Chain A
Amino acid sequence: MTAAIRNLRENPRFLFTRLPNILSFLCIVVGVAWLLLLPLDDNSRRTYISENALLPGQVHAYFTGSEQNIFRGYKQELQALLNEGRETENQETEVEVTPAASNKVHSILQAAGLKVATQKYEYTSAGITHQGENIYGIIHAPRGDATEAIVLVAAWKTADDELNLKGVTLALTLARYFKRWSLWSKDIIFLFTPDSKTGTQAWVDAYHDLHPESVQPLPLKSGALQGAVVIEYPFEHHFQKLHIVYDGVNGQLPNLDLFNTAVAIAGGQMGIGANLQEMWEHNDSYEARLQTMMRGMTKQGLGYATGAHSSFMPYHIDAITLQPKGEGWEDEMALGRTIESMCRSLNNLLEHLHQSFFFYLLMHSNRFVSIGTYLPSAMLIAGNFTIMAIALWMRTGYYPESKPDTPTGEKSKSEKPTKTGAKKIEKETKMNETALPERLMALPLTLVTGLHLLGLVPLWTFNNIFHQYFTTATYIFVVVDIVLPLFLAALLSNGLGVSKPIIPQQYLLIKSFALLLLGLALSTLATLNFSLSFMIGLLCAPLSFIGRLQGPAALRYGVSSLGLVLLNLLSPPMVLLGVCWYTGVSVESVLTQAAFGWDVWGMWTQVVVWCVWWPAWLIGCVQLGSSIF
């Protein structure tokens, strides 16, 4: 046994070629298995309220009865104004919020005794101009010290682009109702935005004086924002359950305590069930949990704003959206009471929400895994690249540069190293011991850096061209992705015309550097946006195991061509096309959204795609392509 181990240890081929392959592969397998094990009872935990101050559901909510009459009155007034607008503009499908309705909101807030202000903004992204006007009113805490505030947001258009008439009306009714309480320790800001995509972003940017020039500054401000709740109610009938949306831009999440508070109040105090991640029927089985988690991870990985609340997250303001869903017997008053109770809980806060988790994956309204449990999954996948990169680096140092028949990481060769083979290699290494292996790093470093910088080109392109051209640009990039690696491979193999032809060691170094960067970037990213790191890691997994092929020309051509085709199916634009085809969403809308995210929300997903994933993929293709030339 020990002899066998010693043999293996003294076997350089095993150490530098086979072992890293095995380790890398194991990392990936364990990483994926780890994720799949998370929904089990033993690995996930029940949620709990960590912040003592919140005391969710301990207060009686009085929002009922006569307030409903006021709600109906407000709603009728607003509806009349909206209908007016619709008739004149003759738009049946798209209801635009008329200035008259906005003015009404303004005057209702003023009449309720709030300080009211407005803010105009305009954003341009991918050739589309988004403009609008925010209206907001502030209830100053009667006995508080105006250093902290809670925000209640009602957007005229919900995240799904429906008219949120009842939501807006409810917010107005609550504003009038809250104004009469004297127990607020924080100011309460009621924010009415024209839509869920731009309005809150403009407002919250301006609140922190970080707004672009096209956005007006805020004439009226309050203290530090402690939390935000977005109210939606885009239909007329009564609802059954509350859907809690919590994902933020770039996969940032609100403090788990806020989510738990909402679940505790909705479920415990009000008796309304709470859903998440569009899982309308959740039976708490393994499959349902896994599906919920995967949906959460997808949203987190893509990093887009899932509602008006998402814009608050980059400023470390915990925010959620409450969406009534289904047909049931809960009315707007029940939603109002839920929000009242939430505000009372937030009002109890003594400091910013900090006790509970900011990094978590939810799999049920009362079950989650925290970063400590799930992080190893993405870390293992990121680690596989690093292991391979280090192994390649060591291998380039171990083998003499001139050795022509260096095995370069094909996993197909599975014959066990025989004793004679090992001895042979030992002899060879002994012979070459005098010739110190020198790494030729200039070309690999330049190439890797250059290709990473090249990622800026698609990054710029996809964020700056007009939205009509997005589909065309995607197809062009598919073609570029086919041609560019072959071109680069040919160029490298034939010596670029200025230097001598590239040697095998340099191929290994190129791969080493590329994987090193990839591993570094992904493991760092895993701590910030676990899901994105995990997804990119999986998509890049083949890159660890491909390299320049050796052997007879026919086999090389065949295998590398097949490899290139398969690899091209995993290129960023092809993955985009595939996902769009599968989900039935148009490529243009996805890319428009992405460009909007980049321009307005500060979304970083594209940077990761074009400057981490794409260069690594490109280098993998170059390696494989070089076998042809």
Chain B
Amino acid sequence: MISFFRLLQALCLLLLVSLAAAEHTSNWAVLVSTSRFWFNYRHLANVLSLYRTVKRLGIPDSQIILMLPDDMACNPRNAFPGTVYSNADRAVDLYGDNIEVDYRGYEVTVENFIRLLTDRLDEDVPRSKRLGSDAGSNVLVYMTGHGGDQFLKFQDAEEIGAWDLADAFGQMWEKKRYHELLFMIDTCQANTMYTHFYSPNIVATGSSELDQSSYSHHADNDVGVAVIDRWTYYVLEFLETQVTSANSKLNLGDLFDSYDESKIHSQPGVRWDLFPGGEQEGRLRTVVDFFGNVQNVEVENANATEPGSLKEDLAEISRLAEKWRKRGEEYSAILGNSTQSQSENKKSSSVGLAPKKTVGPTKMAEDNSWGKRLYKTLRLLQKAKPAGCHTTEQKALLVPLICSRLVAQKHV
């Protein structure tokens, strides 16, 4: 029993340390195809393939914004109704039966895309159409379609410019809508699209340089159209064969090193300079940092010391606990007996902040002690107080709660 609590203590410490390294706490993916029409089948297949990969690596549908301007599965020209394939072997039906398209058909516009990124949306827009990312979110933005020098065409009707995109990301940063952002684009002259980015923490990569075309990889002779683009094909090949699970330790450096110009038939590019630490630091980000889903928990202001911060609260709790312990000692002195466990507690409390967290549970371990009574009183107090009103008693509760959540998550 006691050793278990030791473990908990250690874990709590670990958490605090890792929070100090500023890790992201959620993952979002924005996957955009910008072209419609049957002969652009491959662009939708690109996006759907990537959708499938990020889902496999753990990002839930609720955190994926999928934009598909056309419906290839139901196109009358489709020889295999209801399906979309990104490979002529037709092994995997990308359309399957569990895909959620958030923006479809003519909803896929430049305006909607920018509103989505910057969260300038009406109140009545449903959650599924919102990018709910925050300052702790790693965001993957993947775009594919027909583009040119510093623009990407949307639906044959309009285009998004490199500056538009840069400004949208700039605003996202200002509004704390991402922690780190991986921008990927597969279109002709793709690398020109990220030239104007200026907000920090962005890694950008594209399929082809200025004045270069991006080519399709292969066509399906029965579907009758090209089914996937080259760059996307080889990115996916890497993701599917190397990044086999969410625990993969492969990093972005490995992904970008896998680019083979002789296979891609264009020169892919990577932009590191916006990333703190540049290429050296950026290369170390794991692929699943963007394509997977993290389970980290953020504790607000973990390292702050001002009033109302966690440290302050913990100190307060330890004082409180000390007070109760003294009271208990007094009480037991009156009764004339002291327990072994109390002395154990005393020992451990000397190591610093963290051990104080174990106070609650330890007390609860005793059946007919002060602890249990205290806990009940605190619960009552909590119920009586209006929500959001922080008292020391309430915060005392936080400690066991945090710990138990941690235990639960680490066991997932």
Let me know if A52 is at the binding interface, CB within 8 A: yes
Shortest C-beta distance, A518 to chain B (Å), equals 45
Residues of A316-353 at the interface with B, using a CB-CB cut-off of 8 Å, are: 344, 347-348, 350
Residues of A52-70 at the interface with B, using a CB-CB cut-off of 8 Å, are: 52-53, 55, 58-60
B186-200 vs A, Cβ < 8 Å mask (1 yes, 0 no): 000000000000000
Out of B37, B81, B224, name the residue touching A350 (CB < 8 Å). Answer: B37
Residues of B213-264 at the interface with A, using a CB-CB cut-off of 8 Å, are: 219, 221-222, 224-226
Q: A145 CA to B225 CA in the complex, in Å?
A: 21
A144 adjacent to B38 (CB under 8 Å): no
Shortest C-beta distance, A273 to chain B (Å), equals 22
B39 adjacent to A55 (CB under 8 Å): yes
Known: A53-B39, A143-B81. A185 touches B75 (CB 8 A): yes
Shortest C-beta distance, A491 to chain B (Å), equals 66
B172-212 vs A, Cβ < 8 Å mask (1 yes, 0 no): 00000000000000000000000000000000000000000
Let me know if B76 is at the binding interface, CB within 8 A: yes
Out of A52, A58, A142, name the residue touching B76 (CB < 8 Å). Answer: A142
- Interface range, B side: 10 to 19
Let me know if A29 is at the binding interface, CB within 8 A: no
A348 adjacent to B224 (CB under 8 Å): yes
Known: A52-B39, A55-B39. A344 touches B224 (CB 8 A): yes
Q: Which residues of B contact A347 (CB under 8 A)?
A: 77
Shortest C-beta distance, A90 to chain B (Å), equals 51
B76 adjacent to A350 (CB under 8 Å): no
Q: A185 CA to B226 CA in the complex, in Å?
A: 18
B224 adjacent to A141 (CB under 8 Å): no
Shortest C-beta distance, A337 to chain B (Å), equals 13
Q: A55 CA to B219 CA in the complex, in Å?
A: 11
Q: A53 CA to B222 CA in the complex, in Å?
A: 16
- Interface range, A side: 20 to 34
Shortest C-beta distance, B77 to chain A (Å), equals 5
Let me know if B112 is at the binding interface, CB within 8 A: no
Residues of B58-81 at the interface with A, using a CB-CB cut-off of 8 Å, are: 74-79, 81
Residues of A344-388 at the interface with B, using a CB-CB cut-off of 8 Å, are: 344, 347-348, 350
Out of B39, B76, B219, name the residue touching A183 (CB < 8 Å). Answer: B76
Let me know if A184 is at the binding interface, CB within 8 A: yes
B34-48 vs A, Cβ < 8 Å mask (1 yes, 0 no): 000111000000000
Q: A344 CA to B39 CA in the complex, in Å?
A: 12
Let me know if A182 is at the binding interface, CB within 8 A: yes
B76 adjacent to A55 (CB under 8 Å): no
Residues of A79-135 at the interface with B, using a CB-CB cut-off of 8 Å, are: none
Shortest C-beta distance, A375 to chain B (Å), equals 30
Shortest C-beta distance, A226 to chain B (Å), equals 13
**Looking across the interface, which residue of chain A has its beta carbon closest to that of B80?**
A183
B221 adjacent to A53 (CB under 8 Å): no
B221 adjacent to A143 (CB under 8 Å): no
A134-158 vs B, Cβ < 8 Å mask (1 yes, 0 no): 0000000111110000000000000
Q: A350 CA to B78 CA in the complex, in Å?
A: 14
**Looking across the interface, which residue of chain B has its beta carbon closest to that of A351?**
B37
Q: Which residues of A contact B38 (CB under 8 A)?
A: 53, 185, 348, 350
A184 adjacent to B37 (CB under 8 Å): no
Known: A58-B219, A58-B224. A185 touches B81 (CB 8 A): no
A59 adjacent to B224 (CB under 8 Å): yes
A348 adjacent to B39 (CB under 8 Å): yes
**Looking across the interface, which residue of chain B has its beta carbon closest to that of A51?**
B39
Out of B78, B81, B222, B224, name the residue touching A55 (CB < 8 Å). Answer: B224
A59 adjacent to B39 (CB under 8 Å): no
Q: Which residues of B contact A53 (CB under 8 A)?
A: 37-39
Residues of A141-191 at the interface with B, using a CB-CB cut-off of 8 Å, are: 141-145, 181-185
Q: A50 CA to B147 CA in the complex, in Å?
A: 18
A58 adjacent to B225 (CB under 8 Å): yes
B78 adjacent to A183 (CB under 8 Å): yes
**Looking across the interface, which residue of chain A has its beta carbon closest to that of B38?**
A348
Known: A53-B37, A53-B39. A141 touches B222 (CB 8 A): no
B37 adjacent to A141 (CB under 8 Å): no
**Looking across the interface, which residue of chain B has its beta carbon closest to that of A143?**
B76
Q: A609 CA to B41 CA in the complex, in Å?
A: 52
B37 adjacent to A59 (CB under 8 Å): no
A184 adjacent to B76 (CB under 8 Å): yes
Shortest C-beta distance, B150 to chain A (Å), equals 22
Known: A52-B39, A55-B225, A350-B37. A182 touches B77 (CB 8 A): no
**Looking across the interface, which residue of chain B has its beta carbon closest to that of A144?**
B76
**Looking across the interface, which residue of chain A has its beta carbon closest to that of B221?**
A60
Q: Which residues of A contact B79 (CB under 8 A)?
A: 181-183
B8-46 vs A, Cβ < 8 Å mask (1 yes, 0 no): 000000000000000000000000000001110000000
Q: A52 CA to B226 CA in the complex, in Å?
A: 12
Q: A182 CA to B78 CA in the complex, in Å?
A: 8
Q: A348 CA to B226 CA in the complex, in Å?
A: 13
A141 adjacent to B76 (CB under 8 Å): yes
Q: Which residues of B contact A344 (CB under 8 A)?
A: 224
Shortest C-beta distance, A58 to chain B (Å), equals 5
Q: Which residues of B contact A350 (CB under 8 A)?
A: 37-38
Q: Which residues of A contact B74 (CB under 8 A)?
A: 143
Q: Which residues of A contact B219 (CB under 8 A)?
A: 58
Shortest C-beta distance, B397 to chain A (Å), equals 61
B81 adjacent to A182 (CB under 8 Å): yes
Q: A60 CA to B74 CA in the complex, in Å?
A: 21
| Pairs A–B under 8 Å by Cβ, sample size 8 | A58-B219, A59-B221, A60-B222, A142-B76, A143-B81, A182-B81, A183-B79, A348-B38
Q: Give the A-binding residues of B (Cβ under 8 A).
A: 37-39, 74-79, 81, 219, 221-222, 224-226
Other A-B pairs beyond A181-B79, A347-B77, 20, CB < 8 Å: A53-B37, A55-B39, A55-B224, A55-B225, A58-B221, A58-B226, A59-B222, A59-B224, A142-B76, A143-B74, A143-B76, A145-B76, A183-B76, A183-B78, A184-B77, A185-B38, A185-B75, A185-B77, A348-B77, A348-B225
- Lowest 3 A-B CB distances belong to which pairs? A59-B224, A143-B76, A60-B221
